[in-house]
Amino acid sequence: MRVLVTGGAGFIGSHVVDLLLTEGHQVMVADDLSAGREENLNPQAHFYEVDIRSPELEKLFAAEAPEVICHNAAKASVRESMAKPLLYADVNVLGSLNLLELSRKYGVRKFIYASSGGAVYGEPQYLPVDEEHPIHPLDPYGASKHHVEHYLHLYRANWGLAYTILRYPNVYGPRQDPHGEAGVVAIFAHQMLRKQEPVINGSGEQERDFVYVSDVARSNLLALERGDGGTCNLGTGVGTSINEIFARLKAIIGYQGNRVHAPPRPGEVFKIWLDASRARRELTWQPRVGLEEGLRRTVEYFAASRGGG
C-alpha cells in the first residue's frame, strides 16, 4: 500500500514510517524539518521537504498517488499555542485542510488522523475519559486538533473519504525532543543523564496517560484496514503523576538530585487518563510496552546519544 506519513521525520511520525516499511508498505514522507530531524528519516522512504500548507505539496500527490495518509504533522506545544494561537490554527487546521483537499482531488482512500487525547477533552468530568466525554479544550493546540475532526466527518459524508481518528495520549520514547517544553520523559532523562536539574511545573501531582511510542505507531498500522469512520482513544487507562515519572527515572539513571518545582503552566489539564476499550474492539489495539520497560528503553536511547545531543 502507498502511504504518505506527514511529520515523518518527527518523533512519532518516524516510528510510524519505520513500522510501515517493516510491514512491506511503500512510504512517502512530507516534513518541513521545522521540528523533525533528518537523522530520523528512514532511507527507504521517499522524502519530500515541504510544509503541509504549501501549494508545492500537490507535486507529491501527483507523483506518488498515495492511497492512505497518516497525518502526524502538527504544531504540538500547549504553552506555545497559548502565545501563538493564529500559528496553531494556520498549521494544524489550514495545513490539514490542504491535505484533505488534495486527498479528495487525487482519490486517497483513507485518512488516519493523529488527534490529542490529552488536550481536546479539557479538564475531565470523569475518569478514565472515553470518546463520548464532552469536548472542552483549554488551549489553542487542543482546539485546533479537534477542529480538524469535524472536517474529516464532512469529507467522508460528502466525498466518501474514509478516516480513523486516533486520540493520542502522552507519548514518550526514543527520538522525542529533549529540548522543548513538551515531552517530560525526554526532558527529564536528558537532564538527569547530564547531571542537570529537572524542573517540575506545579506540584507534580498532575497525572497523564503515558504510552510508549512503538505502541502508538502500531495503532496507525492497524488503522490502515480498521476503524473506518471511528474515533479511538489510545491509552493505558491509568494515570501516572509527574512526580512518579521523576522518581522512576531517578532510580533507573541513578540520579542524585532532588525535585525542584516551578509555578504551573496555564492551559494545561491537571489529571487525565484515557479509556481505550474502543481501540481494543475496533482496531485490536492495546499497549504492549509497560511503563518501567518503556522508561528504561528511553533512558538507554538518550544515554547512547550522550543524553540527547
Residues classed as catalytic = 141
> What stretch of H or E contains 64?
helix 57-64
* Among 210, 209, 189, CA closest to 198: 189
Is 156 in contact with 162 (CB distance < 8 Å)?
A: yes
Residue 8, all three cell numbers: 515523518
Cis-peptide into 287, omega within 30 deg: no
> What stretch of H or E contains 163?
strand 162-168
* Among 243, 255, 261, CA closest to 191: 255
Q: What is the DSSP letter of 23?
A: T
Q: How far apart are CA 106 and CA 180, in angstroms?
A: 36
Q: How far apart are CA 11 and CA 186, in angstroms?
A: 11
Handedness of CA 15, 59, 52, 71 (dihedral sign): negative
* Among 80, 15, 6, CA closest to 298: 15
* Cα radius of gyration rounded to whole Å, the chain: 19
> What stretch of H or E contains 19?
helix 11-22
Q: What is the DSSP letter of 38?
A: G
> What stretch of H or E contains 150?
helix 140-159
